[in-house]
Amino acid sequence: MTSEPIVTPVDETITQDYMLDKRVRLKQHKGGYRAGLDAALLAASVAPAAGARVLDVGAGVGAVSLALAWRHPSLKITAFERDEKALSLLHQNITDNGFDERVTACAGDVGQGFAATGLERFDVVLSNPPYFSDDRQHRLPAEAKRGAYFSELGLEAWIKFLLAAAKSGGTIAVIHRAEVLGDIFASLGKSVGDLRILPVSSRDGQAANRVLVLAKKHRRTPMKIFSGFVIHQNGKKFYPDVEKILRGNADLVQKIS
């Protein structure tokens, strides 16, 4: 992702960023949470059928939703977000990319439960949930980033929301810290199958620090655990397959099928 300051006399706290080799524009708060690799991998992990309805839970300013809209032009995407500042930029980003007919911003809180949204269930539900639910688990981030890293609800509430939002047979996709994989399994319970697990490591020889989990609701297909996906080679340089994903020239689907 590249970044250029927006030249504006109105608000210098916002930057104009780009995804997918500058094919997608993304305004973000300079001091807030910055969308990065997790969003790119999550958006590249699914290949919904034409015309599928997709829900992005905790959408922030829209990194996952916008990347999906560019990758799959026939999708109808709902971007669900509770933070008012993020929601404001989400609306702007949808319009800036010409996705008004395909991506809808929806204000809401996971804590209220899916039934309270009044939405119909979706073919695909994705999320990059906040990583922590206890302030003692991690050094406190800047206040502007807090909502993206901490949720007082806990991971289980997020997973239950995703389950409720998915149709029977629908896909659920989550990216999170590798150490909470057991908690993800426990929260998904017996209501899913066709579990596909992709460990993600920063560098060769390192333990996975992220995990991408895909599952289908009300399916009984056996679980698959795939070879680890490594991001960097020779220090900070991306591996070629990672670079292709970030530029929008490849996806992760063939690696987790």
In the prediction, which pLDDT does 14 show? 93
Contact 50, 24 (CB under 8 A): no
**Report field, pTM of the whole predicted structure over 0.95:** no
All structural domains of the chain with their residue ranges: 2-256
- Give 33's pLDDT tier (boundaries 50, 70, 90): confident
Amino acid of residue 153: L
Which comes out higher in pLDDT, residue 177 or 31?
177
φ/ψ of 81, rounded to 5, equals -150, 140
Which comes out higher in pLDDT, residue 135 or 216?
216
Which secondary structure element, helix H or strand E, spans residue 40, and what is its range? Answer: helix 37-43
In the prediction, which pLDDT does 236 show? 79
Can you say whether residue 189 is alpha, beta or left, with left for phi > 0 and alpha for psi between -120 and 50 degrees? Answer: left
- Give 139's pLDDT tier (boundaries 50, 70, 90): low
Least confident of 64-78, 110-124, 151-165: 151-165
- Give 7's pLDDT tier (boundaries 50, 70, 90): very low
Share of the chain above pLDDT 70, in %: 88
Cβ partners under 8 Å of residue 211, min gap 6:
175, 176, 177, 178, 181, 184, 197, 198, 199, 200
In the prediction, which pLDDT does 141 show? 52
> Using alpha carbons only, what angle is made at residue 161 by residues 82 and 129, rounded to the nearest 5 degrees?
60
Q: In this predicted model, what pLDDT tens digit does every residue of 80-112 receive, in sequence order?
A: 999 999 999 999 999 999 999 999 999 999 999
SS3 content of the chain, % helix, strand, coil (to 5): 30, 30, 35
Please, what is the angle between helix 63-71 and helix 84-96, to 10°? 20
Class of domain 2-256: alpha beta
Q: In this predicted model, what pLDDT tens digit does every residue of 45-61 receive, in sequence order?
A: 999 999 999 999 999 99
| Distance in angstroms (rounded) separating the CA atoms of residues 155 and 140 | 18
Can you say whether residue 78 is alpha, beta or left, with left for phi > 0 and alpha for psi between -120 and 50 degrees? Answer: beta
| Distance in angstroms (rounded) separating the CA atoms of residues 170 and 149 | 27
Average pLDDT score over residue span 201-229: 95
Q: In this predicted model, what pLDDT tens digit does every residue of 18-28 receive, in sequence order?
A: 999 999 999 99
Given a cut of 70, whether residue 5 has pLDDT beyond it is no
Given a cut of 80, whether residue 144 has pLDDT beyond it is no
**Structure tokens that stand for 30 in this block:** 């300079």
